[in-house]
Amino acid sequence: MIQALVLRKGNQIDFVNSQYVGVLSEIPTPAEKGRPDGDFYALPTNEGFVSDYNTLIPYNPANSPNTPLPEFAIPVFKLSCLDNSDSFIVIGTSLQYVTASSGGAALPTSLAYLNGSANPYNNVYYIHGAPTPYGLQTIYSVDSNGNANIAIPLPTLSGSLQLFPYGNVNGTEAYPTASIAGTTYATPANLLTFVNAHWTTIGSTTITWSLSSDNLTLIGTVTNFSPTTPIVFGGGVIAVNPAL
Q: Which residues of the chain have pLDDT under 70?
A: 12-21, 44-54, 61-73, 110-136, 171, 175-182, 244
Per-residue pLDDT at 47? 43
Question: With a threshold of 0.85, does the pTM exceed it?
Answer: no
User: Quick one: pLDDT at residue 134?
Assistant: 58
Q: Tell me the domain boundaries of the chain.
A: 2-101, 134-240
pLDDT of residue 220: 94
Residue 199: phi and psi, rounded to 5, are: -115, 25
Closest residue by Cα to residue 157 from 220, 215, 198, 236:
215
Cα–Cα distance measured from residue 169 to residue 189, given in angstroms and rounded to the nearest whole number: 22
What pLDDT digit, counting tens, does each position of 183-235 carry? 788 999 999 998 998 889 888 899 999 999 999 999 999 999 988 888 888 77
Q: Report the distance separating Cα 31 and Cα 45, nearest Å.
A: 35
Which pLDDT does position 118 carry in this prediction? 33
Q: What is the largest CA-CA distance in the chain?
A: 63
Residue 165, pLDDT score: 84
